[in-house]
Structure 1
Amino acid sequence: MNNVRHLAVTVIGIVLLLLGLVLAAGGVYLVVLGGSWFYLFAGLIMGACGFGVFQRKRWALFGAWALLAISLIWAFSEVGTDFWQLVPRTITFIVVTLLVTLCAPTLLNAENKPVLSCKKSGLLSLALVASLVAIFTSMFSVHPEVEASGEKLPVLNDSAAESSGNDWAAFGRNSSGQRFAQFTQINTQNVKDLKVAWTYHTGDLAINGAEYQVTPLKVGNTMYLCTPLNKVIALDPVSGKEKWRFDPKIEETSGNKNWKRCRGVAYTELSPAEQNKNPRIISTTVDGRLFSLDAETGKLDENFGDRGFINLLAGLGATAHGSYYLTSAPLAADGVVMVGGKLNDNLTTGEASGVVRGFDASTGKLLWAWDASRGAKDSTPLPEGEIYPIETPNFWGTAAYDAKTGVAYFPTGNQTPDFWTGNRHPYSDEYNDAIVAVELKTGKELWHFRTANQDQFDYDVSSQPILYDMPAKDGSVTPVLIQLTKRGQIFVLDRRTGKPVIPVEYRPVSTDAMPGMKVSPTQPYSAISVGATALKESDMWGASIFDQLYCRIQFKDMRWEGEFTPLSDKKRTLIYPGYYGGFNWGGGAIDVATGTLIVNDIRMAQWGKFIKREDAARIGMKPSTEGEYSEQLGTPWGVERSMFMSPLGVPCFKPPFGSMTAIDLATGKTRWQVPMGTIKDAPIHGVAPGLDIPLGMPTMGGPLVTKGGLTFFHGTLDYYLRALDNNTGKELWRGRLPVGGQGAPMTYIGEDGKQYVVVVAGGATRTGTNDNRGDDVIAYALP
C-alpha cells in the first residue's frame, strides 16, 4: 500500500510540475503580448509545488495554499462576483491545493516528520472538496446578469391588444410586430399545469440544410403554416387535424440547395368590392416566386399574377437565378403585398438588386418598386424588360405596418460582399443597415435612418420593426418604432419622422483599414443595448485556467480596437458583436400592457482575415456564402472567418452566450436579464453533455409575451419550450420538445374556449448534420 501511495504522490508531483511549466510558458507569451502577468507567476508557483511534492518537501503545501489565496484575490479583483467568470479562475487552483493537501502526510519537515497528519490532511481536503461540490452545484442554478427588483410591472394599458381578438393573424401577431397577446387563461399561477394538447407532423423533415423557423398563423377556425420546402398547410387549431395543403414544387438551385427556410405566410382579406371571395394566404418560395391561395380551400388563386404565381426574378437580371430567394413572411395589408428578398453573401460582386416591391393583393399587379439607387426620388416600377440596378442593399425580413397612417417600415442589409467596402456605391452607403418608411400604397419613401455607417461585418438589419405607442409621464403618446440590430443596439425612433426618441450618440471607431477600403470614422450607438459592451482581455473565458489562458493569448494577438476594427491580411481581427447577432431575424416582443420590451439575443464573437484567393485554393479552402471562407470575387481579397473558440470547443469569451432581457422603455433601464438555455443538448465536438447547466446559449427565433404575465420561448439549443415570469425572468415551467426549435411561439383562443400555445420544432439551428431533426407542430393547453 505504501508503494502505491508513494507512486501516486510522485505522479501528482510530476503532473503538477508539467502543468505549471505549461501555464508559465503560456504566461510568458501573454506577457510579451502585453497581457496579464498572473499566469506566469501562477505557473511558476504551481510548477514549484509539483517539484516540492516530488521531492516530498513541506513547503509544497504552503505554496499550494498561497497559490489558492493569491488566485482568489486576483479572480475577485478582476471579475468581481461574476460566477461564471470565477469558475475557470479558481477551480483549477482548488484542485491543485486539494491534491497537494492529500499528499501532505508524505511531505516532510526538517525533522523528517509529516507536515500534516492524515486526519488534518483529510479535514482540509474535505473542506476543499466541499467547495468544489458547492461550485458544481451552483452551476445548475441560474445566475442572472440583472436581478429583478421584485416590483410588479405597472399596467399602462389594460385593454392592450384586445382588437386582435382570439387570433394570431400575422407573423408578429399583428402588422405592428408586437408578439403580445391579451389572453390570461394561461398565467403565472397555472402555467405549471400546461400539457400537450395535440401534435401534428408535416412530413417534411428539416434535413440537408433545411430549417423550421416558422411562426404559424391562426385566423377563425384555421391555422396556417409553411414548411422549409414552402408547402403551405392548413390545420384545425383545436384538434391539429390537417384541412388542406399546397405544394408549390420549388426548384432546387445552387443558392437554396443548402438553405431552405419559410418563416411564415401572410393572411389577407380582399377589398370590399370582392367580398364574395374568400380571404387569401400569400406566401413565397426559395426559388424566387410569390403565390396566392384561397384560405378556405388551399387552391391557387388563378387571377393572381400568372395563374397564381409571380416570378420575383423578373427585372433582376441574369445573376438572380440561384442567388435571389425568399425566406421570410411577406407583409399583406390594405390590399398590398410587400416583399423583399435574400441574396447570397460574399461570393461575388454584381449581385442582383435588393429592390423592395409592392403588389396588388387581388391581381398581383406590380404597384411600386423602391430601390436604394433611386431612394426617395422615385418608386415607379421599371418598364418590363429593364433591370433594376445591381448591388443595392436588400430587405430580407418582414416589414411592419401602421394601419392608421398607411406607412410601412422595413429594414435593409448592405451591399454584398459583406467584408470589403471598397466597391460600395454611394447609395449603398446611404441605405445600408437602415430602416426605411414608405407609403404602402405607393412605395414613396418618407424617411430612412441608418443603424450603421459603411457596414463591414454583415450587420444587416433583419428583425421585424416593432411599432408601439409609447406613453409619457405627462399623458402624451409618441408613436415609436423599435428596431433591434445584430450589433445589439436597440434604436427607438419616432415613426413619423425617423428621429431618435431614445438618444443616439455617434462615437469614433477605428479607421485603420486596408488600402482601397472605405470606412466610416463614427458609428451610431443607442442609449439602449444588450450584450454590446466591448470585450477586454479579462472577458476571455474557458472551461479551465489553461484554455482561458489560450483564449487570452488569442485575444491579445488579434486586431481589436473595439467594434468596427477593420479586417486585415496581416492578422486576424476580432468581430464583436458577431455577424449572427446581437439580434437576428427572430426579433423581440413588447408587453404593450406594461411598456416592457422583451428580447432574446446572441453573444458570439467571431474573427475574420483577408486572404488571397490563390492562397486559399492552395491550402484547400472551399468557398461558400456561409462557411469559413468566401471568395468575394470582384474584390481584391477573399475572406476567412470563424467562431472565436477554445480548443475544447467552447467560446473564448464570458457567458452567457444568449440571454432574455426585459427593458422598461419609459426609462431605458433593464428590469431583468437572465441566461437562456442549458448545455444539455448542445454538442461539443459532437457530444451532447446532457447536463442542465443554464450557461446561456445562443438563441434563435423570438419570444411570445402574454397578459397572463408570461414570456414563452423555445429558440434555445436545448430542447425545451419555457415560460418565464414577465416580472422577474424566473422560469416557471418548461416542456421537453422532441428536438430543438428556432421559430417563435404563438398563442390563440380556440373555438372550444381554450387558450393554446403552439410551437414548431424541426431541430436546433445549424447542427451540420441530419441528426435530431423533426417536423413537429405541438400545441399546449391547460387540462
Structure 2
Amino acid sequence: MKPWVRWVISGLGIVVALLGLALALGGVKLISLGGSWFYLLAGLAMIATGWFVFRLRAPALWVALGLLVVSGLWSYWEVGTDFWQTVPRVIVFLFIALGAAIVSPVLVDKSGKPALRWQPAAALSVVLAVALVALFANMFRPHPTVIADAGAKAAVIKADAGQDSGNDWPAYGRNTEGNRFAQFDQINRDNVKDLQVAWTYHTGDLAVDGKEYQVTPIKIDDTMYLCTPSNIVIALDPTTGAERWRFDPEVKDNFGNQNWKRCRGVAYIDLDQTPPPSWRVTPAADQTGTDGTAPVAPASGIAAAICHKRIVTTTVDARVFTLDAETGALCPDFGDGGYVDLLKGLGPTAEGSYYLTSAPLVAEGIVMIGGKLNDNLTVGEASGVVRGYDVASGDLVWAWDPSRGATDSSPLPEGEIYKPETPNFWGTAAYDPELGLAFFPTGNQTPDFWTGNRHPYSDEYNDAVVAVDVKTGQERWHFRTANIDQFDYDVSSQPILYDLPKADGTTVPVLIQLTKRGQIFVLDRRTGEPVVPVVQQPVATDAMPGMNVAPTQPHSAISVGTTPFKESDMWGATIFDQLYCRIQFKDMRWEGEFTPLSDQKRTLIYPGYYGGFNWGGGAIDASTGTLIVNDIRMAQWGRFIKQDAAEKIGLEATTEGEYSTQTGTPWGVERSMFISPLGVPCFKPPFGTMTAIDLNSGKTKWQVPVGSIQDAPVHGIVPGVRIPLGMPTMGGPLVTGGGLTFFHGSLDYYVRAFDNDSGEELWRGRLPVGGQGAPMSYIGKDGKQYIVVVAGGATRTGTNDNRGDDVIAYTLPGNVGQ
C-alpha cells in the first residue's frame, strides 16, 4: 500500500471518529432530556468504526455494517416506511458502510487476513452503492402521505354545478359562495400536458419593497379586471392580454403599509341587476310586490349614466372606491369625490394601523368591508368593526361591532368612535342569496400572545365565523373556532358555501371554514350548528400569572396536518441536525396544541400561526363534493421577554418579525421558525400539501406534497434541484370540470395541474418567478378555455430579488394569442 493511500484512509477514520464523538455527546444531552438512546449508541459505534479504520483493522467493516443494519431496524421501528423520515436516519451510515466496504481489502484482522478480498468487497460495494443511488433517486419523486384508492373516481352528484357563472369568473372566489370551481372541461386530464402560454402581461408595478402579488383576477363578459399591490386597477382583454384601461388611486405610505402592500382582488356589480339601498324607495302598501320587495327608483344623473357597471375595491391606506367598469373612471357619486374614508369612526390609533388587503364582498347593493390591524405592537388598536356601505352612494348602511354583537348593527352617530381592541375581519366574506346572509371570519384582539387584557366580547368573537343579514348587518349567529386564542390563529380564508347531500336525497346548506389550526369546520349555514362533529378537547393551562387561557379547544372530525408532534417527528437533512432538532424539541415546553408561552423557556407552537390554512383558502369540486385544500406545516417557537431586556439584547420590534413589544402588556414576545442550523425545518416533511377530502364521507381521498426545494434559498444558496419535499404554500387552488386542480402558490416557480381523483401531478409549467395567489379560469370570446395566474414572486423572500409583475394566461394550442 502506498503511504499516501494509508494516510487518506487513516484520515477518513479520524473524521468518522470525530463525527461519532459529536453524535455521542449530543446523544448524552438527549438522554438527559428523556430522549432516545440511539444517538449515543450510534455515536459510540461510529467512534469504533473510525478507530478501526485509522488502524486499518478488519472490525471496522463489521461494525459499520452492523450500524447500518441497526439504524435501518431502528428507523423502521420509529417511522415505518416513511421515506423522508428514513433518509436522515440511514444515509450517513450507508456512506460509512460503503466506505468501509471499499477499503475492506486493506483492513486486516490480527492474523493479517483482510476483512474481505477484492471480489466480494467489490460486490458488497456495488450493492451499497446501488442502495445509495436508489435513495437519492427517490428524492426526486413525490411521496404522497395519503395514496388514492386505485381506480377511484368521484361520482358526479350535481351535473349543473358552476353553470350559474356562465363563461365568466365574476367574483374573487368565482362566485359569492367562494367555491373556486369552474365547470369548464375543455382543458382536461387527457390534454392538460399540451397547455401553452397564450399571452403575458406586465402590470408595471413590480413586487418589491414589501409588495406581494396575491391577486385573483375576475372576468366579466369580455374584460378581465385585477389590482396590483399598490391598488392600481387594470382592465385587460382576456383573450389577448391587451390593456384596456388602468386607474391609480395613488396610495399614501404610512407606518403600517410601507412594507406591507397587497391587493388580493376586486369586486363587480351591475346596478341594473342589483339595485343598492339608495336606489330603493319605500313602497306604499299597494306598491309592494307579492314577494315583499320594494320597487326600484330609476337611476339619474351623470354618475348613474357612466357607472351602472362598477368595479369596487379598497386600498392599503384605508379607502374604498368604485370605478366605471367600461372606462375606469371614478364614479363621482360614490362617497367624497369617488372615495370613502374608512378611518372615519375608528379613532386616533387607526391611521397607519388599519388598512385593507383583501377583495371586498358586494351583494344586494352593499359593499362589505373589514380591515387588517397591526399585530402585537401595542394595546389600544382600532376597532375591528365590519361595515356595509351603499355601493352607489358610499353611505354607511350598517356596522357590526363585536362589542355590541347581535344587539345593534346601526352605524354610530357622527363623531362617535367604535370601541377599540375588538377582533377584526381582514379576509373576504361569502354570501348566500337564498338566506340573505353574509358570512365572514374574524381574528383576535391584538396583541395576540398576551391574553390578560382581553375583553369578554373579544373572547366571544375571537377566531369566529359570523353570519349577518347583508342588508342590515344584524347578526344571525356566530361560531368560535378557538376559545381564547393566544397564538394569532385568526381565521382569514373565505368561507366556502356548499349544499351537502344527505342519504335521504335532501341537502343541508353548509358553510366550510378552514382555519390556521388546520381544523375544517362544517356548519349549517342557517344556524351555525356543526354538521360534522366538533368536540372540546382539553389543553394545557399552566400559563403565566395574569394570563387568561381556556381549558378546552374545539376540534372538528375533519382536519389536515393536526397530529401532535412527538420526538420521532423531528427531522434533519442528516442524523446530526436531526439530533440537534430532537434536543431542541425535548428542551421546549410542549404539551400539545395551545401550550402557553413562558418566560423561562421556549414553547413550541404547532400548528404554526401562518397555518394550517391561511387567507388563500380552498376550493370545492361542486359537482362531486370533493374539497381541495392546500396547507402550511411550519412550526414556530415563542417565549415572553421583558421589553427592556429585549431592548438590551438588540431585538428589533416589528409586527411580523422575531420580536414584538406588545406595549401596554407586561411582556414582549420573541418568536421564530423552528429550524435547524442548516436552515431547514426541524420536523418531518411535507411542509405543504394538497389534500382532497370527500365531504360526503369525511374521508381524505389523497394527500400529496406540493413544491420542491428548487428555488427556495437556504442561507442564501438556491439548491437548483427539484426535490419535491412539499414546501410551505400560499394562495389557493382552482378546481375545474376537467377533473383538474391548478395551483401556483408553492415556493418553487411552477404552476401545476393535479388529477382530482388521484392527486397525481399531470402538468407543470415553469414561471418566471414564484406565485402566491390563486389561479382562475374562463372561456374567452374565441371559445377557448384559459387558465390565468399572476406571479410576482414567492412569499416573503425578504429581498427584492426574483420579483415580478407577470399576468400569464394558458390555453391549448391551435389559437394561441400573441
Alignment match, 2:153: 152
Q: State the match for 2:253 in structure 1.
A: 252
Which 5+ residue runs of structure 1 have no aligned equivalent?
Answer: none
Q: Which blocks of at least 5 consecutive residues in structure 2 are unaligned?
A: 276-295, 814-818
Determine if contact 1:12/1:99 at 8 Å carries over to the other structure.
no
Who is 1:427 aligned against? 457
Partner of 1:94: 94
Contact 1:232 1:245 in 2 (8 A): yes
CA distance in 2, matches of 1:173, 1:451: 25
Match of 2:484 in 1: 454
**In 1: Cα distance, 2:384 partner to 2:498 partner:** 28
- SS for the counterpart of 2:15 is helix
Equivalent residue number for residue 336 of structure 1: 366
Whether the 8 Å CA contact 1:347–1:630 is kept in 2: the answer is yes
Following the alignment from structure 2 to structure 1, what is the Cα–Cα distance between the partners of residues 597 and 118? 59
Match of 1:691 in 2: 721
C-alpha distance in structure 2 between counterparts of 1:190 and 1:98, whole Å: 45
How far is 1:447 from its partner? Answer: 0.3
Counterpart of 2:788 in structure 1 is 758
Cα distance in 1 for partners of 2:111, 2:577 equals 41
- Matching residue of 1:383: 413
Q: C-alpha distance in 2, partners of 1:143/1:648?
A: 23
Residue 151 of structure 1, CA deviation: 1.1
Rounded to whole Å, the distance in 2 between the matches of 1:576 and 1:634 is 27
CA distance in 2: counterparts of 1:740 and 1:71, whole angstroms: 38
Given candidates 671, 692, 695, the residue that maps to 1:665 is: 695
Q: Match for residue 206 of structure 1?
A: 207
Give 1:515's aligned residue: 545
The equivalent residue for 1:30 is 30
CA contact (8 A) 2:616 2:730 kept: yes
Distance 1:459 1:373 in 2: 20
In structure 2, which of residues 349, 353, 363 is the aligned counterpart of residue 319 of structure 1?
Answer: 349
Q: After superposition, give the CA deviation of every residue in 1:391-431 in whole Å (9 maximum; x if it has no partner).
A: 00000000000011110000000000010000000000000
1:401 corresponding residue in structure 2: 431
For residues 629 and 100 of structure 2, the distance between their equivalents in structure 1, rounded to whole angstroms, comes to: 47
Shift of 1:59: 1.5
> What is the rounded CA distance, in whole Å, between the counterparts of 2:664 and 2:203 in structure 1?
42
1:118 aligns with 2:115: no
Give distance in 2, aligned partners of 1:527 and 1:517: 29
Q: What amino acid sits opposite 1:559 in the alignment? A: R
* Deviation at residue 103 of structure 1 after TM alignment: 2.2
Structural mapping, 1:351-750, within 5 Å: 351-750=381-780
* CA distance in structure 2 between the partners assigned to 1:402 and 1:487 by the alignment: 26
For residues 628-659 of structure 1, the C-alpha deviation after alignment (integer angstroms, 9 at most, x for no partner) is: 00000000000000000000010000000000
1:417-473 deviations in whole A, cap 9, x for unaligned? 010000000000000000000000000000000000000000000000000001112
**Displacement, 1:278?**
2.5
Distance 1:630 1:66 in 2: 50
Separation of aligned partners in 2, 1:95 and 1:578: 35
Q: Is the 8 A contact 1:304 1:362 kept in 2?
A: yes
Residue 74 of structure 2 is matched in structure 1 by 74
Is the Cα–Cα contact under 8 Å of residues 435 and 526 in structure 2 kept in the other structure?
no
Secondary structure of the residue aligned to 1:343 is coil
Query: Is contact 1:215–1:745 with CA below 8 Å preserved after alignment?
Result: yes
Match of residue 268 from structure 1: 269
1:24-83 CA distances to partner (integer Å, 9 max, x unpaired)?
000000000000000011101111111111122221211111111111110001000000
Question: What residue is the counterpart of 1:135 in the other structure?
Answer: 135
Distance 2:243 2:126 in 1: 61
Q: Give the Cα separation in 1 of the matches to 2:144 and 2:795.
A: 24
* Residues 709-741 of structure 1: CA deviation (Å, up to 9, x unaligned): 000000000001101110101011111100000
Contact kept? 1:419, 1:458, Cα under 8 Å: yes
Whole-angstrom CA distance in 2 between matches of 1:608 and 1:247: 40
Deviations 1:650-671 (A, max 9, x none): 0000000000000000110000
**Residues 741-783 of structure 1, C-alpha deviation per residue, up to 9 Å, x if partnerless?**
0000000001111111100000000000000000000000111
Q: Name whichever of 385-394 and 264-273 sits farther off.
A: 264-273
* In structure 2, distance between residues paired with 1:684 and 1:145: 25
Q: How does 1:199-238 map to 2 (within 5 A)?
A: 199-238=200-239
Once residues 502 and 174 of structure 2 are traced to their aligned partners in structure 1, the CA distance between those partners, rounded to angstroms, is: 25
Conserved? CA contact 1:218–1:237, under 8 Å: yes
2:280 match: none
Shift of 1:4: 2.0
The range that moved more, 304-313 or 264-273, is 264-273
The aligned amino acid for 2:645 is D
**How far does residue 113 in structure 1 lie from its aligned partner after superposition?**
2.2
Q: Which amino acid aligns with 2:663?
A: L
58-67 or 505-514, larger mean C-alpha shift: 58-67
Kindly indicate whether the alpha-carbon contact (under 8 Å) linking 2:146 and 2:700 is maintained by their aligned counterparts in 1: yes
Task: State the Cα deviation string for residues 525-556 of structure 1 (Å, max 9, x = none).
Answer: 00000001101100000000000000000000
* SS at 1:324 equivalent: coil
CA contact under 8 A between 1:372 and 1:428: conserved in structure 2? yes
Counterpart contact for 2:692–2:703, Cα < 8 Å = yes
For the residues of structure 2 that align with 1:239 and 1:133, how far apart are their CA atoms? 47
Match of 2:61 in 1: 61
Check the 8 A contact 1:278/1:296 in 2, yes or no: no
Q: Which moved more, 1:696-705 or 1:469-478?
A: 469-478
Aligned equivalents of 1:54, 1:735: Cα separation in 2: 51
**3-state secondary structure, aligned to 1:376:** helix
Deviation at 1:689, TM superposition (A): 0.5
Q: CA RMSD in A?
A: 0.8
Aligned match of 2:40: 40
Figure out how many residues of one structure are paired with residues of the other and give that number: 783
After superposing on structure 2, the runs of 4+ consecutive aligned residues of structure 1 that deviate more than 4 Å are: none
Query: CA offsets, 1:274-312, max 9 Å, x none?
Result: 485531000000000000111111000010011110000
Conserved 8 A contact 1:489-1:529: yes
Amino acid at match of 2:128: L
CA distance in 2, matches of 1:711, 1:58: 57
- Displacement after TM superposition at 1:119 (Å): 2.2
1:384 Cα deviation after fit: 1.0
- 2:446 partner amino acid: T
Q: Deviations over 1:77-106 (max 9, x none)?
A: 100000000000011111111112222122
* 1:76 alignment partner, SS class: helix
1:282 aligns with 2:312: yes
> CA separation in 2, counterparts of 1:735 and 1:57?
54
**Cα deviation 1:467-495 (Å, max 9, x = unaligned):** 00011121010000000000000000000
Paired residue type of 1:168: W
2:244 paired residue number:
243
Q: Which amino acid aligns with 1:550?
A: Y
Distance (whole Å) between structure 2 residues aligned to residue 437 and residue 574 of structure 1? 34
Instruction: Work out the CA distance in 2 between the residues paired with 1:414 and 1:702.
Output: 23
Q: Which amino acid aligns with 1:79?
A: V
Q: Is the 8 A contact 1:183 1:755 kept in 2?
A: yes
Structure 2-normalised TM-score? 0.95
Structure 1 residues 9-28: aligned runs within 5 Å = 9-28=9-28
TM-score (norm 1): 0.99
SS in 2 for 1:252: coil
Letter in 1 for 2:538: P
